[in-house]
Structure 1
Amino acid sequence: MSQAGTRPLPEEVVEKAKQHVLDTFAAMISGAELPPGRAALQFVQAYGGKEVATVVASRIVCGPLEAAFANGVLAHSDETDDSHGPSRSHPGASVVPATFAAGEQFGISGAHFLRAVTLGYDVGPRVTMCMGGPGYQAATHRSTHGTVAAFAAGAAAGCAAGLNAQQFRFLLDYAAQQTSGIGAWTRDAEHIEKAFLFGGKPAAAGVGTAMLIRAGWTGVDDVFSGSDSFFDAYAPRENGVVKADTSQLISGLGERYEITRTNIKKWTVGSPIQAPLDALAGFFRKRSFTADEVQKVVVRIASDEANTVSNREMPDICMQHIIAVMLLDKTVTFVSAHDKARMQDPAVLRQRAKVEVVADPRIDARRPRREAIVELTLADGTQLTEWVRDVRGTAENPMTRDEIVVKARDLMTPVLGSAGCSALIDRLLSLETLGDIRELRQTLQKD
């Protein structure tokens, strides 16, 4: 961790890091127009702070902790940000805001920024991977997302702050003390608590911790072992014995980059809806048909996913609604996925009535992969079936740079305008050439 700020990354990892940074900033900018984002901007505008760090999609410049908090909430105001399957987390929502705020505080270069971001993705996910990844929340009722984010944001901010090895030991201790989040976030109907837990809180905590340790604060030398360790407190137990494969903390560290295993969403909707939309897009390529020609759509997904996206009140995480929109429009955009009024449109409701969501044990057995089986029946009796195993945007089926740019434009143009959007994309895709990350401020602000 202490060497990451100056250690060159492989070219393909640099490219992947730039793509995730672009995707996360796009999520922040689009999030500024949504209720969690508006709440964050109102809070930080009233709270203030020393003018050091940029709050995206606004004219606000404030303290680094406040900026990290606001930008973290913006990044997960919606379901457009990236996700890491093996750890069940959304690393970008905490890592990029924390690195940006700390980077502005300490005036780091674009290359240093990319290395710090990459470190955050490497450290945070490995913590829950030690404890069973997606099964960790089911076993403990604690949030994998909040746990990963605490360590990921701290590691990234610590790298931006230039901490040495001993200081990073203390930082890991403080990150452990600030780990939080319980599974109740799944009941959040407005996405505000979720944005706080996944992005805002850990981003601010990571920056604050890095600044405290840099200022000379000390702590426990090794929070992962010894009495009352992190794993004693947080890991699941079986017959009283801690269940944690601690070797996963450093397995492949510096060789296997978790940012290359992190998914970028093609569709600006909840993760469990990605595979079904891929399937429908494939059906449209194979055969021409209208929504009214569809008799029935059966979507088979994992049990936990069905609980997350079946008949939800928010349009972008409601499987039945989004499938109906896809049938009518033959695509899903950011605007169509967030048009809540359309949930009452009779034309949409007619199509929604045809959609059945089924928790399928075959897909349960494939978790944490985001797979789905979609069965579509037309009025003439034709049946189309697709088992989507490699969702577009995953490591197994990655999006191209051009596809990610198209998605970013869809998210950012309504907020920044076409020219502003193009300028920001150009800057973010050449980050390694920036002498000071503060040079990003002008392209990220909105009048």
Structure 2
Amino acid sequence: MEITKQFAKFIVNCTYESLPKDVQEAVKERILDTVGAAVAGEHSWKGKEAYLQAARELYPGTLAPWGSGEKSFSLGAVLTTNCAYAHAVELDDGHKNGGCHTGAVVVPMALTLGAVLGRQPQEIMTAIVLGYEITYRILEQLPPTQIGRGFYPSSQLDVFGAATVAGKLYGLDEEQMANALGFAGQQTAGFMEITVNGKEDKCIQVGSCAAKGLAAAIYAREGLKGCLTVLEGKNGFFRAEGKDIDLEKVTAGLGKEFRIRDTYSKLYPMCRHAQAPVEAVLDFLEEGAFQPEDVVKIWVGTHQVAYNLTGAIKEPHSQSDSKFSIAYGIAAALRDRCFGMKHLTPVYYEDPELWKLAHKVTVEVDPQVQSVYPGKRGALVEVTLKDGRVCTRELYDLKASPNNPVGWDTIVQKYTNNMEGTLPEDVTKKILDIVSHFEQEYSSQGLERLLHC
């Protein structure tokens, strides 16, 4: 049986009641984490107004995206916009070793489409779990070949998650759901070059997965036939982007093992590949290992992908540069003992003092770190001090990763920090209360209304 059909059977028959309790709780963490990232993105993404103007012209309609009451956009445009916001400032979650940001697409899509269709919160939560599940199961077979061949995982794979969410919320049957996944596979697009040139607005590339997934589900609902062998076929997705794929593993344990558990949260608004050395320096400072003025130089050993994405920039000149620079992240950590949204603003990323600190950092590919990638993604950090001491740390399991969980309270604190200076405090509290008890709410309309403030 084709993998699309196996997935479809599982998607259609999965219910909220069949989800383990920890998975039900994990969904609420993913909702809160992503909503906070999206609100921060909506307020901080420099390309927002230009994008909205383009969307008004390209996709007119009667709906409004988050952060606005302007009902001038189509459903596809609203879904794309909300998802783009969630990815805009690199605060969205991701797979523990797959380089894919799934929450940025499946969570806003489920919340918005669920509200439009009048679905109940438990239905929305189930759709979110399924969106992660299908995306991650396909993703697991691809690192590191996919990135090595130049494909950007999020914009390639999140279409499958989006189609899953839409298909579940539209109530597609098994045949329709399989066709939707078939259509999704034919609409994947996006290359790693976006992290080199054009990364200022790469969130559009990720957000557009929502519109493509929506289209896939609607095509299937209307009876069109998707490519059912799009994954395992001799000219299909796995052959194009992977190597030595174990097809049995793709569906093994389906319905018993839930991949949403393999999700990390970001505690810093920057590329995940830059975060291990930044966290290591913050840990040193918290432990009192040294003071910032004691530092002579810092050496970071990382893997090739992290070096390519985040190893070169020492003097950022844009928000996007600041999110993709290990050296700048370390400089901010040294001086300010944190790395937060303020560090994505010009007054910080163009600060000569931070540039000077960044030039103390050397980033190289380390054979040891490279040898365990992609099963582990981290860094070696050596801090040389004025008194001759060298503080060394090897870090792979960052805080808020599956092997180093932080719990609900830390996710709430991150959410609260992200919302500061964006929505009114009473709205922030109301959103938190709704998400905390999401499965008990009678309607998702209340949350959607608050997100339009």
Structure 1-normalised TM-score? 0.91
CA distance in 2, matches of 1:360, 1:7: 46
Structure 1 residues 48 and 168: CA distance shift in structure 2, 3 A: closer
How much does 1:88 deviate?
2.3
Matched with 2:323 is: 316
Matches within 5 A, 1:156-305: 156-192=165-201, 194-198=202-206, 200-225=207-232, 228-232=235-239, 234-236=240-242, 243-287=244-288, 289-305=290-306
- After TM superposition, list the pairs within 5 Å mapping 1:16-415 onto structure 2: 16-32=26-42, 33-46=44-57, 49-52=60-63, 54-61=64-71, 62-130=73-141, 132-138=142-148, 140-192=149-201, 194-198=202-206, 200-225=207-232, 228-232=235-239, 234-236=240-242, 243-287=244-288, 289-312=290-313, 313=316, 314-336=321-343, 338-368=344-374, 369-415=376-422
Point out where structure 2 has 5 or more consecutive residues left out of the alignment: 1-10
Counterpart residue type for residue 196 of structure 1: I
Shift of the 181–275 alpha-carbon distance from structure 1 to 2, 3 Å rule, reads same
Amino acid at match of 1:310: G
What do residues 343-394 of structure 1 show as CA deviations (whole Å, max 9, x unaligned)? Answer: 3323212211211112111111121222111111221222211111311111
Structure 1: segments with no counterpart, 5+ residues: 238-242
Q: Does structure 2 retain, via aligned residues, the 8 Å contact 1:303–1:364?
A: yes
Deviations for 1:416-447, whole angstroms, at most 9, x for unmatched residues? 0322211111112221122222221221122x
Residue 6 of structure 2: aligned partner: none
CA distance in 1, matches of 2:17, 2:247: 25
Match of 1:240 in 2: none
Distance of 1:385 and 1:259 partners within structure 2: 33
SS of the residue corresponding to residue 95 of structure 2 reads: coil
Q: Deviations over 1:245-294 (max 9, x none)?
A: 22232122212211110110122221022211221122113226432221
Q: Pick closer, same or farther for the CA change 1:105–1:418 going to 2, 3 Å.
A: closer
CA contact 1:36–1:73 (8 Å) conserved in 2: no
Offset from partner CA, 1:175-204 (integer Å, 9 cap, x none): 011111222222234431x21222x11111
Q: Is the 8 A contact 2:112 2:448 kept in 1?
A: no
Question: For each residue in 1:289-346, what CA deviation from the matched residue of structure 2 results, as whole angstroms up to 9, or x when unmatched?
Answer: 432221111111112101111233311221111111111111222212x023323323
CA distance in 1: counterparts of 2:94 and 2:415, whole angstroms: 16
| Contact persistence 1:223–1:230 (CA under 8 A) | yes
| Residue identity in the other structure for 1:266 | L
Query: Are the equivalent residues in 2 in contact too, given 1:370–1:391 (CA < 8 A)?
Result: no
For the residues of structure 2 that align with 1:78 and 1:115, how far apart are their CA atoms?
27
Q: Residue 374 of structure 1: SS of its match in structure 2?
A: strand
1:36/1:429 Cα in 2 relative to 1: closer, same or farther (>3 Å)? farther
Q: Is the counterpart of residue 432 in structure 1 residue 442 in structure 2?
A: no
How much has 1:235 moved relative to structure 2?
Answer: 4.1
CA RMSD of aligned residues (A): 2.1
- When normalised by structure 2's length, the TM-score is 0.90
8 Å contact 1:101–1:207 — kept in the other structure?
Answer: no
Distance between the aligned counterparts of 2:234 and 2:297, measured in 1? 57
List per-residue Cα deviations over 1:44-83 (Å, max 9, x = no partner): 455564435x512222344321111111211111111011
- Is the partner of 1:377 in helix, strand or coil? strand
**Equivalent-residue separation in structure 1 for 2:421 and 2:415 (angstroms):** 11
Alpha-carbon shift at residue 225 of structure 1 (Å): 5.0
Given that 1:128 and 1:147 are in contact with CA atoms closer than 8 Å, whether structure 2 keeps it comes out as: no
Aligned counterparts of 2:102 and 2:138: Cα–Cα separation in 1: 12
Percent of matched pairs sharing the same residue = 26
| Closer/same/farther in 2, CA of residues 378 and 227 from structure 1, 3 Å limit | closer
